[in-house]
Amino acid sequence: MEVFHYTDVEAKDAEEGASKLTVRWLITKKMGAENFAMRLFEMIAGGYSPFHSHPWEHEVFILEGEGLAISEEGQKKFRAGDVIFIPQNSKHQLKNDGEKTVRFLCLVPYTNDERPGQHLELRQKKNSANV
């Protein structure tokens, strides 16, 4: 069993196409988590993730702050305590339109890719991530 504070894990710049967004890979395959990864993102005021889609889902929990969750159907406001489920292959973007930093967990499976987990491991090596 591992117990550690999220700030013990280094924050790295998130993926290309994102702005003012960092990611900490908290629980990964390296730790023995074979099925899904837990990441914590920090998005400062004005930050955003790219508007994109991919063949894996996101399970998101908003820890702090507020912003907009955007999909092809429109946009919804989010705030601390909100849960966001983004299905596979569904276009999405998160934006911080508030004044405080948004902190959120975003979990992704090590499956549903041509080679399970490959997209995650490759991006980890490049110090980038999928939001």
Site for its own copies in 24-43 (CB under 8 A): 26-27, 31-36, 38
Stretch of 12-20, 44-52, 105-113, 120-128 lying at the interface with its own copies (CB under 8 A)? 105-113
Tell me the CA distances in angstroms from 78 to 13, 24, 55, 67, one per residue in order: 23, 21, 23, 5
Q: Which residue has the tokens 């889609």?
A: 53
Q: Shortest gap between Cβ of 3 and its own copies (angstroms)?
A: 4
Length of the chain, in residues: 131
Q: With CA atoms as reference, report the closest residue to 105 among 54, 48, 63, 55.
A: 63
Q: Is 84 in the site for its own copies (CB under 8 A)?
A: yes
Geometric angle at alpha carbon 51, from 18 and 54, rounded to 5°: 100
Stretch of 13-21, 44-52, 66-74, 120-128 lying at the interface with its own copies (CB under 8 A)? 66-74
**Site of interaction with its own copies (CB under 8 A):** 1-7, 9, 26-27, 31-36, 38, 57, 59, 61, 63, 69, 71, 73, 76-79, 81-87, 90, 92, 105, 107, 109, 111-112
